[in-house]
Amino acid sequence: MSVLGSYLHRHPRLRLAGLLSAPLLWLVVAYLGALAVLLVSAFWTVNGFTGEVVREFSLQNFRTLLSEEVYRAVTLRSLGVAAAVTGICVVIATPMAFFMAKVASSKYRNWLVIAILTPLWASYLVKAYAWRILLANGGPIDTLFGGPGNGPGYGLFATIIVLSYLWLPYMILPIYAGLERLPDSMLEASADLGARAGRTFRAVVLPILIPSVIAGSIFTFSLSLGDYITVQIVGGKTQMIGNLVYANIGAANNLPFAAAIATIPVLIMVIYLVAVRRSGALEEL
C-alpha cells in the first residue's frame, strides 16, 4: 500500500487522473452524452404509419417548429413566464435578503435561512397541489377577493404566481450570499459621505448585487422555462415548451420531435449564459 502511495505521490498526474476519472465519466456519459443523444435524435423523424423512429438525418422537425405559429407562440409565452417569474422573484427576494443579511440579528438570521430552505425539502408536487387548492374556484384566494370567481383562478397568471413561489428561494440565497459579502462599512461609508438609505441602496448596494441577481435569475429563469408540471396543475389550458415536449413523448409518440422542441430552452439558456458570462455572475454560483 505504501509502495502504491509513494508511487502516486511521485506521479501527481496519475493521482489526479485516478481522482477525477469517476466524476468525469459521469459528466461525459450521463450528462453530455444524454444531451448529445437529444441533439442527434432531434434530426430524426417518425414513420407516420408504423410509429417507428427513422434514423436518418432530416431537418423536418425544425422546419415544422419554425413554420407553425403555435410553436412560436408557446416559445414566446414560456419566455414571458420565465421573465415574469424572474422579475417577481428579484423584487421579493432583494428586500428579504437585505433584511436577513443586514438587519436581522445573527440568531434571527439563522432561523430565517432555515425558513427559506425548508420549503425546498417539501415535494414540488405537494406545493403545486397546495396552490391548486388555494386557487380553486371558491377556494381561499377567491374568498379573500370576495367570492367565487373573483380570484385569478387557473391560467397563465396562476402559473406565474406559483412558479415565483416555487423558485423564490433560488433567488433569495444568492442575493443573501452577495449581501453577506458586502461589508457593513460600505453602507456606512455611503452614509458617511452624505447619502440617505435610498441613495445608498441605489448607488452602492444594487450595482454590487447585480452578479448575485443574475446568478439567481439563471435558476429562476431556466427552471421556469422548462417547467411543465405546475402549468398542468394550475395553468388551465396554458401550454409551455415543457408541455409540448411531454405531449410529444407521450400522446403523440414522436420522440424526435420532442427532442427538437427540447433544444429550444437549451438554446435559450446557452444564449443567456453566454450573455451574462461577462458580468461575473457565473462566479456567484
Partner 1 sequence: MTESSTPAIRLTGLRKSFGHVDAVAGVDLEIADGEFFSMLGPSGSGKTTVLRMIAGFELPTAGTVELGGKDVTRLAPFERDVNTVFQDYALFPHLTVRENVEYGLKVRKVGRKERRERAEQALSSVRLESFGDRKPAAMSGGQRQRVALARALVNRPKVLLLDEPLGALDLKLREQMQVELKAIQREVGITFVFVTHDQDEALTMSDRVAVFEAGRIVQVGTPEDVYEKPASPFVAGFVGTSNVFAGETARTLFGRAGTFSVRPEKINLRKAQETNGVVAEVIYAGPVTRYVVDLDAGARVVVVEQNRRTGTAALSELRGQRVRLDWLDEHVIEIPQLKENAHAE
Q: If binding is defined by CB under 8 A, does position 195 make contact with partner 1?
A: yes
Using the contact rule CB under 8 A, the part of the chain among 91-99, 201-209, 220-228, 260-268 near partner 1 is: 201-209
Residues 119-124: contacts with CB within 8 Å, 24+ apart? 119/169, 120/169, 124/166, 124/229
Q: If binding is defined by CB under 8 A, does position 13 make contact with partner 1?
A: no
- Give me the least distance between CB of 188 and partner 1, in Å please: 5
Q: If binding is defined by CB under 8 A, does position 193 make contact with partner 1?
A: yes
Site residues for partner 1, 207-266, by CB under 8 A, read 207-208
Site residues for partner 1, 166-185, by CB under 8 A, read 183, 185
- How many angstroms separate the CA atoms of 42 and 61, rounded? 7
Buried b (16+ CB within 10 A) or exposed e, 72-104: eebbebbbebbbbbbebbbeebbebbbebbeee
Length of the chain counted residue by residue? 285
Using the contact rule CB under 8 A, the part of the chain among 36-44, 109-117, 187-195, 252-260 near partner 1 is: 187-195
Q: Are 89 and 216 in contact (CB under 8 A)?
A: yes
- Give me the least distance between CB of 200 and partner 1, in Å please: 9
Contacts of 112 (CB under 8 A, 6+ apart): 99, 100, 104
Q: If binding is defined by CB under 8 A, does position 190 make contact with partner 1?
A: yes
- Give me the least distance between CB of 273 and partner 1, in Å please: 22
Q: If binding is defined by CB under 8 A, does position 276 make contact with partner 1?
A: no
- Give me the least distance between CB of 208 and partner 1, in Å please: 6
Query: Which of 186, 180, 210 minimizes the C-alpha distance to 282?
Result: 210
CB nearer partner 1, residue 178 or residue 226: 178
Q: If binding is defined by CB under 8 A, does position 104 make contact with partner 1?
A: no
Q: If binding is defined by CB under 8 A, does position 23 make contact with partner 1?
A: no
Positions touching partner 1 (CB under 8 A) are 183, 185-186, 188-196, 199, 203-204, 207-208
